[in-house]
Amino acid sequence: MKIVPYPHPALRSKSDVVKIIDQEIHALAAGMLELMYERDGLGLAAPQVASGQRLIVMNFAGDHDQKDKEYVAINPVIVEAKGTVEDREGCLSFPGLYAKVRRHKTVRVQAYNLKGELYEMTCAELAARVWQHEIDHLDGVLFIDKLGMLGRMATKKSIEEFQKDFKKSLDKGEYPPGTAPKL
Ligand code: ZN
């Protein structure tokens, strides 16, 4: 399992609802948590490891030792959103790229944990931002889609670099044949 960079096509696919929480889902969550901590991320969504399951992992402290801040969210949904706030955001599929993104300030979310129990929580600020960013991934939506005109201009060069690097990886055969980026 590895984190795929933009513009890998998995990042633009809409993920499927998880119907059974089996060993495969447990292994997916465990592998994703490991990668997230390895790369110092606060969240990771299944499309980022080229999986098509509606599953995200998060740790709002970004700290392996703070297990109380760690969440596995299966089939997550935002049931209520309030306010807006703009802040700097990055993504493990765009290493080194940061941009200001407008998000809801507070969200109430629902998801299933690995035991199949439904939980609900209300989050604000950074945690709310992480939930929104990761849930977007499950619908093939990326943070670069949310930028205003200035943000798009400021990130244009970096995004073109990601596209060039990905094409090089494809040419080198680092991805299965038929992997074509959807830009
Ligand atoms: Zn991301």
Per-residue pLDDT reduced to its tens digit, 29-87: 999 999 999 999 999 999 999 999 999 999 998 888 888 889 999 999 999 999 999 99
Task: Compute the average pLDDT of residues 78-105.
Answer: 96
Please report whether residue 15 resides in a domain: yes
Report the half-sphere exposure of 70 (CA within 13 A, side-chain side).
13
Asked, for residue 29, whether it belongs to a domain, the answer is yes
Whether residue 111 is contained in a domain is answered as: yes
Helix (H, G, I), strand (E, B) or coil at 21: coil
Q: Which of 85-94, 116-125, 170-179 has the lowest mean pLDDT?
A: 170-179
Rounded distance from Cα 57 to ligand 1 centre (Å): 11
Across the chain, the runs of DSSP E, i.e. the strands, are 43-45, 55-59, 70-89, 99-112, 118-124
152 located within any domain: yes
| Percent helix, percent strand, percent coil in the chain, to nearest 5 | 35, 30, 35
Residue 153 maps to a domain? yes
181 within a domain of the structure (yes/no): no
Query: Three-state SS string across 53-91, please?
Result: ECEEEEECCCCCCCHHHEEEEEEEEEEEEEEEEEEEECC
Q: Is residue 2 part of a domain?
A: no
Q: Determine the pLDDT at residue 140.
A: 98
Residue 183: pLDDT band with limits 50, 70, 90:
low
The pLDDT of residue 68 is 84
- Indicate whether this model's pTM tops 0.85: yes
Predicted local distance difference test score (pLDDT) of residue 109: 98
Q: Which domain holds residue 13?
A: 9-171
Give the CATH number, domain containing residue 16: 3.90.45.10
**Does any domain span residue 51?**
yes
State the distance from the centre of ligand 1 to the C-alpha of 119, rounded, in angstroms. 23
- Domain tally, the chain: 1
pLDDT tens per residue, range 116-143: 999 999 999 999 999 999 999 999 999 9
Counting residues of the chain whose pLDDT is more than 70, the rounded percentage is 99
Q: How far, in Å, from the CA of 49 to the mean position of ligand 1?
A: 11
Span 84-99, average pLDDT: 96
Question: From ligand 1's centre to the CA of 47, what distance in Å?
Answer: 9
The residues annotated with a catalytic role in the active site are: 134
